[in-house]
A and B are shown apart, each in its own frame.
Chain A
């Protein structure tokens, strides 16, 4: 290479480096730190959004109230919420009368569990594990973030400013059939495991429930919606297995007559 060409190359690289460093100094001067570009939905707006969805669910599904199953779910909720240090949500757990084995979270800390899931569970601890996982999605704001990503800004503004019913119905379908990405599922699992331990419920119940559903899935069951909306794999079950509780951890079983709960559905 000619010396003048080499000089040109070095000069060009120096100009490039100078531009980058200059840009960096400029950014440091004007922006104090990194920041997130995502449009933040406040908890108040999320609650408002949740209320709109609640009305829609009320119209579309039959909910279960004031029976043994509802009281069991409220008992589970009380235990889990008590174990949370702080939360911005006023959690509401509702049972939907439906054979599907599924549970989902809508904005505002509203968690819905299908009666099919309660019947598929063998103990209140297993239901608690699934609900703790859903609380993980709520606390980490996965539902709102996902909605924000998938919907156009216009749709979000429509919803936040009152809501066009047809837009809302479409969004609701999206929420119920929501599949989170692997990272979000894993984070919700981690949250659930820690919460279960704090609530004195054995974290193993999460893996146990999913393992059983996995086995059940070998014979195709169209009600196993939870497997589609919560895609999981051996890695996730492994994560549950590897979770170590503190040495002095002692689970406190729920005082719930599970047979009675199942019969009430």
Chain B
């Protein structure tokens, strides 16, 4: 498997660095809208990814990493929201120890995700790569792998008239 060479920070335009950083800031989308629904961050990340991925491989990598790293926390937080709603619908609001444990798990996971995203945004702004566990490799492969359409075909399409 072949990969495109990684650009060095001085080769990346400032605009690309800003756009790459912006991908990680989508985690604040729900806060900006004012709704406690974790899915809003994911939707914002998806939209951001599809708008920006074609701009450069550097932006593609960071926006994809931001997007896929958002999925587990979204699922975990949705779990917490749904569980909390089912408790609220019960007449006694019976809260189990498992629910509290899950809340701690969801809270700590979100906090870790938040810190890692801040670090990733900072690195992206500096024009550096930052690989998160698992998601970094997945995003790198998707953004930098040499695909067939990237290599010029042996038969040029446009040819001189003589």
Main secondary structure of the interface of B (DSSP, over half): helix
Does A37 lie within 8 Å of B95, measured CB to CB?
yes
Q: Which residues from B are CB-within-8-Å of A8?
A: 133-134, 137
- Tell me whether B12 is interfacial, beta carbon within 8 Å: no
The 5 tightest CB contacts between A and B, nearest first, are A23-B104, A8-B134, A24-B101, A37-B93, A23-B101
Scan residues 154-195 of chain A and give those whose CB is less than 8 A from a CB of chain B: 183-184
Establish whether residues B137 and A35, one from each chain, have CB atoms under 8 Å apart when the complex forms: no
Q: Is the CB of B137 within 8 A of A5?
A: yes
Instruction: Tell me if B44 counts as interface (CB < 8 A to partner A).
Output: no
Main secondary structure of the interface of A (DSSP, over half): helix
- Please count how many residues in chain A sit with their CB below 8 Å of the partner chain's CB atoms: 29
Cβ–Cβ contact A19 & B134, under 8 A = no
CB-CB contacts below 8 Å: B85-105 with A: 87, 91-98, 100-105
Complex Cα distance A183/B137, Å?
A: 51
Q: A23 to B138, Cβ gap below 8 A?
A: no
Count A-B contacts at CB 8 Å: 69
- Which residues of chain B (78-126) have a CB below 8 Å from chain A? 87, 91-98, 100-105, 108-109
How many chain B residues touch A (CB < 8 A): the figure is: 22
Q: Which of A9-17, A55-63, A101-109, A116-124 participates in binding chain B? A: A9-17
Q: Are B93 and A38 in contact (CB under 8 A)?
A: yes
Q: A20-B102, A36-B93, A142-B91 are in contact. List 15 more A-B contacts (CB 8 A).
A: A4-B137, A8-B133, A16-B72, A20-B101, A23-B100, A23-B102, A23-B104, A23-B105, A24-B97, A33-B97, A34-B97, A35-B94, A36-B95, A37-B93, A37-B94
Q: Evaluate whether A31 and B92 lie within 8 angstroms (CB atoms) in the complex, with A11-B133, A23-B108 already known.
A: no
